[in-house]
Amino acid sequence: MIIPDTDSLRDRAAAALAACGARDDHPTADGTLIARSPITGGTLCLLTPSEPEQVTAAVADAHDAFLRWRTVPAPRRGALVRRLGELLTEHKSDLATLVTLEAGKITAEALGEVQEMIDVCEFAVGLSRQLYGRTMPSERPGHRLTETWHPLGVVAVISAFNFPVAVWSWNTAIALVCGDTVVWKPSELTPLTAIACDALLRRAAEDVGAPTGVHRLVLGAGPVGERLVDDPTVALVSATGSVRMGREVGPRVAQRFGRCLLELGGNNAAVVAPSADLDLAVRGIVFSAAGTAGQRCTSLRRLIVHSSIADEVVKRVASAYRQLRAGDPFAEGTLVGPLIGERAWDAMSAALVRARADGGTVVCGGERVESDSGHYATPALVRMPAQTSVVREETFAPILYVLTYETLGEAITLHNEVPHGLSSSIFTTDQREAERFLASDGSDCGIANVNIGTSGAEIGGAFGGEKETGGGRESGSDSWKAYMRRATNTVNYSDQLPLAQGVRFGR
């Protein structure tokens, strides 16, 4: 396998950062935050993590900006996001290069991630004229009962390595049109993409005359995030990452009665019914399970197949898996890039050992691909006799466990028998089965699909999941409501003072 050397990756990173206007932002010779590329495992540059007082200052700046930003009419706030969308379009390939360098995504997926940013900006610009409140009929004569949505305050965005820019844009584009300001702590594994986005948003703010404090970037690992989580000036903490992280963040924010939007792990499954169009199903399964080297929150990790077609489905998926090329994510023809690092490979191999001990059979894959650097693995397809504990966990790597079922009720029970509730799908051409899967006693996930895989959501829908996935919703539909506060307004335009519920008080 031919992998580019770290020097050439470093040059590409420097060129992409410079193109985004971030040439001199942050790098230092003695920094302790290492920007690495999973392509080789080598160092791209050294950065200085934010000190605690810098995090506090960033929140204070964002709060000062909020006091002005909240009074700017929402459609004019939309102009900032429109400009950001234009700059993202102009720098699509620069940002995609950084995503590939830092997260290891193949070029097509990296470009897709930046397209998602552009799409959500477009959505948010439209939304800036549609932050509707309702008018309710008042029970009292001469009264009007309405609700108004107001900006909330400073939003802390804490993001994961595997969607280093899209998750930021889902939050930031919506928060900005809602009148909030943002402090972003990206994953410590992907600081350069964040520096580039911050530079583009700064430029957009200058171009439209918005306060530059509408966005602040802080860099570092968990402790930097904790500082944001505990800051009482932060009105909403939107945190994306592992369930472990959510367990730490959720109670801390609740302790100070802050608001939290959690987007945590998933253990996503697809049911394959006897009537499924298998050509279509296999394509959907392979993209969802092996795409992004199994490192999406929505990656397909469990396949629940009717016993009558299980051998055929496994044969077809295995045949597709054997044709997947793992390697340099920049190279044409590569479909599986590197794992993010050694820990991911260790987790993958440990899970496979446990699966075998539980009676599982590795049909194909699960091997480390020879390389001097980086951690590359072939996606693993594993038949399991039962849904054992390893199958019920999220291993953030390309492992697809196959289970079988006899009745749809049994398939749905297996499907829901995991702690997470993010994404799900059913492959069937039987409308009754499809509807049953989508019904209230069907899939218990925030995303339930028919005849497409579990990954690759569009920005127009609300994104998020139930149970240990955290319950948050981001991006489209009415997710914007999490970024605003609601005021109920009663106006009395009569000369009487009737009390609600007919209460009489005094005369």
- Told to check if 248 binds ligand NAD by CB under 6 A, we report yes
Q: Answer yes or no: are the C-beta atoms of 166 and 116 closer than 8 Å.
A: yes
Could you give the string, one character per residue 48-77, with x where binding to ligand NAD holds by CB under 6 A and - elsewhere? Answer: ------------------------------
Find the binding residues for ligand NAD in span 462-481 (CB under 6 A): 469
Secondary structure (DSSP) of 202-243: HHHHHHHT--GGGEEE---SHHHHHHHHH-TTEEEEEEES-H
Tally of residues, the chain: 507
Among 49, 104, 225, 456, binds ligand NAD (CB under 6 A): 225
Could you give the string, one character per residue 94-123, with x where binding to ligand NAD holds by CB under 6 A and - elsewhere? Answer: ------------------------------
CB of 247 to ligand NAD, least distance (A): 9
Among 161, 184, 321, 330, binds ligand NAD (CB under 6 A): 161
Find the binding residues for ligand NAD in span 376-435 (CB under 6 A): 394, 396, 422
Find the binding residues for ligand NAD in span 294-313 (CB under 6 A): 297
Cα angle at 82 between 97 and 19, to 5 degrees? 30
- Told to check if 335 binds ligand NAD by CB under 6 A, we report no
- Told to check if 198 binds ligand NAD by CB under 6 A, we report no
Secondary structure (DSSP) of 111-122: HHHHHHHHHHHH
Say which of 102, 109, 188, 263 is annotated catalytic: 263
Residue closer to ligand NAD, measured from CB, 115 or 146: 115
Q: Answer yes or no: are the C-beta atoms of 452 and 425 closer than 8 Å.
A: yes
HSE-up of residue 145 (Cα within 13 Å, Cβ side): 7
Q: Which residues share a beta bridge with 185? A: 158
Token pair belonging to 199: 């530079």
Token pair belonging to 13: 């990173």
Q: Answer yes or no: are the C-beta atoms of 139 and 500 closer than 8 Å.
A: yes
Residue closer to ligand NAD, measured from CB, 73 or 251: 251
Residues with Cβ within 8 Å of 111's Cβ and at least 6 positions away in sequence, in order, are 92, 93, 96
Among 9, 19, 229, 381, binds ligand NAD (CB under 6 A): 229
Residue closer to ligand NAD, measured from CB, 161 or 405: 161
Find the binding residues for ligand NAD in span 251-270 (CB under 6 A): 263-266
Residue closer to ligand NAD, measured from CB, 116 or 394: 394
Instruction: Sheet with 259-263: list strands edge to edge.
Output: 215-217, 181-185, 154-158, 234-240, 259-263
Coil, helix or strand at residue 351: helix
Residue closer to ligand NAD, measured from CB, 286 or 462: 462
Among 40, 107, 172, 240, binds ligand NAD (CB under 6 A): 240
CB of 189 to ligand NAD, least distance (A): 6
d(CA 361, CA 393): 18
Q: Given the structure tokens 């699909």, which residue do they identify?
A: 449
Give me the torsion for CA of 383, 387, 389, 395, rounded to 10°. 50
- Told to check if 461 binds ligand NAD by CB under 6 A, we report no
Of the candidates 479, 469, 465, 486, the one whose C-alpha atom is nearest the C-alpha of residue 173 is 479
Of the candidates 230, 237, 228, 225, the one whose C-alpha atom is nearest the C-alpha of residue 262 is 237
Residue closer to ligand NAD, measured from CB, 330 or 396: 396
Near ligand NAD by CB under 6 A, which window of 65-73, 147-155, 221-229, 312-320? 221-229
Diameter of the chain measured on Cα atoms: 89
Burial of 88 (0-12, 13-18, 19+ CB in 10 A): buried
- Told to check if 180 binds ligand NAD by CB under 6 A, we report no
263 as an active site residue: the answer is: yes
Residue closer to ligand NAD, measured from CB, 74 or 124: 124
Residue closer to ligand NAD, measured from CB, 125 or 160: 160
Size of the site for ligand NAD (CB under 6 A): 30
- Told to check if 188 binds ligand NAD by CB under 6 A, we report yes
What positions carry a catalytic annotation?
263
Which residues are near ligand NAD by CB under 6 A?
Answer: 158-163, 167, 185, 187-188, 221-222, 225-226, 229, 240-242, 245, 248-249, 263-266, 297, 394, 396, 422, 469
